[in-house]
Structure 1
Amino acid sequence: MKKILTLVSAIALVFTSCSKDDDSVVDEAENILLKKTILTEGGNTETYDWTYDGNKLVSNISNDGSKLLYTYTGDLLTKIEEFDGASLEFTTNYFYNNGKLVSMEEISTGSSQKERTDYTYNSDGTVSFTKYAIVIATNATSTINNGKLFFANNNVIKREEISTYSTITTTYLYDDKKNPFMNVVGLDKLFDEPRSSKNNVVKETEVVENTSGGTTNTYITTNVYTYNANGYPITVVETQQSGDVASYQLLY
């Protein structure tokens, strides 16, 4: 299931502009939904089947038995559960205020800790965030990092993330085509979901500055797409800086 998270990161980003709060995510003219993804990497092939209730996600099931299950409250996506077979491995909960995402919690099954990210909407259109580690039994809280998201054309164009030991700056370049998940209800409210941007990422550049050691490393990922007549991607070739290549076929 981690591969499908990589896949959708290649197709789209986790983030979406807060300026879209009053927009409908449903493309009424086409209302196209992604039904199947086929991943080929290193000679291996995996398939992922997406199911919906109208335009709301229900599940994403892999041929290896892993799956993601989605829960809505009204039109807001409030929970994603990740399973390995019948075992619940990971849960993400989302919390809103007046339709805006204000916090999310990530919990690994059996862990004594969880992580919470709080969001602040700034007057300049950026979104600031702070991520915390929380001891579940005592509610003792410590800060992991702080950061900021920058947007243009309903896509995130930069993510800044600052911790005690490093500063990570990630920039994104996009095509002008349609995201495969643009018609899914609720994804436009999220900042961690790699399915909710307007367009598709063609280049991701991550610069990691080690503040204690004084070193800087850069990591680049490129994505090459082909599209159908409606402007949605039907194939993606993702190339890591290391030379690793993954190919995806998208079926609607």
Structure 2
Amino acid sequence: MKKLIFIFCAFGLTFNSCSSDDSTDDTGDPDTVLLKSTTETYEDGVFVTNYTYADNKLVGISYSGGDSEVFNYTNNLLTSIKEYIDGELDTEIELEYDSNNRLVTETYMYDFGPDEVNTYTYNADGTVTMLEAGVNTYIYTYDALGNRIAEEDVNGNQDYVYTYDTKNNPFKNIHQSEVFELMGHSTYKNNVLTYVNTDGVSSDISDAYTSSYSYNNADYPTSSTITYVPGTDFEETIFVELSYY
């Protein structure tokens, strides 16, 4: 399965979904809402993630335990990301774009090993091909809104399909959401309902999940229940609460 190098905490990467509406406080203008924090509750503890912005540009993430990420922009484009563990720089990611400001190369420079380069190709049929570290190839398919609806693992058996609700994704309004999405984050327009492996691989190596949500009056999720590999011995349930600026 493709490697997800850094994660917007649990919710930001994969935990998007839907359920019944909830008449909680409105978040204001739906087109300016930005995610402030997520609080995830596991069987063995609680994990909090905080997000900071400059206008609608994501500039920092801080995690429970002291880890963090810093996002740097050049000429309005995200060009580098620095990941810190216990205050020490662990990984730096450099991004390059084509003449249409589309992400074409991401280079991961590790403190503990050789660099890794991922490249993106934009195909005439609207799909995107990602070559990971010169080895694994993935093809992403999108709907008209820009939601990823399928990913094909050309070299293996980790093919996935997605279904979505019609509500607002917590990261809907961040700058360059399409770039974060390509790098493995669920910065779609809507929220993922199900994420299912279509190749029938054993559940111990599958990260398929289903989700349910409550929403505020602006149609943004305020809480979520995510169940990984439901109905199996590997089933895990996580509860997430979200707050907004």
Matched, 1:239 2:227: yes
Separation in structure 2 between the aligned mates of residue 105 and residue 208 of structure 1, nearest angstrom: 30
Tell me the number of residue pairs that the alignment of Structure 1 and Structure 2 aligns: 220
Matched, 1:81 2:73: no
Separation in structure 2 between the aligned mates of residue 72 and residue 3 of structure 1, nearest angstrom: 19
- For 1:217, the equivalent position in structure 2 comes to 202
Tell me which of 7, 12, 24 is aligned to 1:8. 12
Change (3 A) 1:12 1:192: farther
Change (3 A) 1:105 1:5: farther
Letter paired with 2:72: T
Q: Is the 8 A contact 1:159 1:171 kept in 2?
A: yes
- Give the drift of 1:63: 2.8
The root-mean-square deviation of aligned C-alpha atoms, in Å, is 2.3
Q: Is the 8 A contact 2:9 2:49 kept in 1?
A: no
Residues 142-200 of structure 1 deviation map (CA, whole Å, 9 limit, x = unaligned) = x321121101031011111223xx23201111111111111111222341141421111
Separation in structure 2 between the aligned mates of residue 42 and residue 225 of structure 1, nearest angstrom: 19
Residues 99-156 of structure 1 deviation map (CA, whole Å, 9 limit, x = unaligned) = 1111111232131x22211111111111112222xxxxxxxxxx32112110103101
- For 1:22, the equivalent position in structure 2 comes to none
- Give the drift of 1:43: 4.3
Name the structure where strand makes up a greater proportion of residues: 1
Change (3 A) 1:43 1:217: closer
| SS of equivalent to 1:203 | strand
Residues 189-241 of structure 1 deviation map (CA, whole Å, 9 limit, x = unaligned) = 341141421111111112457xxxxxx43533111111111011111111111
Matched, 1:186 2:176: yes
Letter paired with 2:41: T
Change (3 A) 1:28 1:101: farther
Gaps of 5+ in 1: 14-26, 133-142, 210-215
Separation in structure 2 between the aligned mates of residue 60 and residue 50 of structure 1, nearest angstrom: 5
Separation in structure 1 between the aligned mates of residue 51 and residue 115 of structure 2, nearest angstrom: 28
Letter paired with 2:211: N
Aligned pairs for 1:103-182 within 5 A: 103-111=105-113, 113-132=114-133, 143-152=134-143, 153-163=145-155, 166-182=156-172
- For 2:21, the equivalent position in structure 1 comes to none
Separation in structure 1 between the aligned mates of residue 111 and residue 105 of structure 2, nearest angstrom: 20
| SS of equivalent to 2:158 | strand
- For 1:36, the equivalent position in structure 2 comes to 37
- For 1:59, the equivalent position in structure 2 comes to 60
Separation in structure 2 between the aligned mates of residue 40 and residue 3 of structure 1, nearest angstrom: 17
| SS of equivalent to 1:168 | coil
Separation in structure 2 between the aligned mates of residue 3 and residue 100 of structure 1, nearest angstrom: 21
Q: TM-score, normalised by structure 2?
A: 0.82
- For 1:94, the equivalent position in structure 2 comes to 95
